A and B are shown apart, each in its own frame.
Chain A
Amino acid sequence: MDEELEEIRRKRMEELMMSAEWPDGPQEVTDQNFEEFVSKYNVVLIDCWASWCAPCIRLGPIIDELAGDFKGKVAIGKLNIDENRDVPMKFGIMSIPTMLFFVDNQHVDTAVGALPKANIEQTLNSLL
Chain B
Amino acid sequence: MVRAEAVHKRYGLLEVLRGITLEVAPREVMCLLGPSGSGKSTFLRCVNHLEKINSGRLYVDGSLVGYEERGGRLHELPEREVCRRRTEIGMVFQRFNLFPHMTALENVVEAPVLVKKEPRAVVTTRARALLDRVGLSNKVDAYPNQLSGGQQQRVAIARALAMQPKLMLFDEPTSALDPELVGEVLDVIRALAEDGMTMIVVTHEIGFAREVGDTLVFMDEGVVVESGVPREVLANPQHERTKAFLSKVL
Are A and B a genuine interacting pair, yes or no?
no
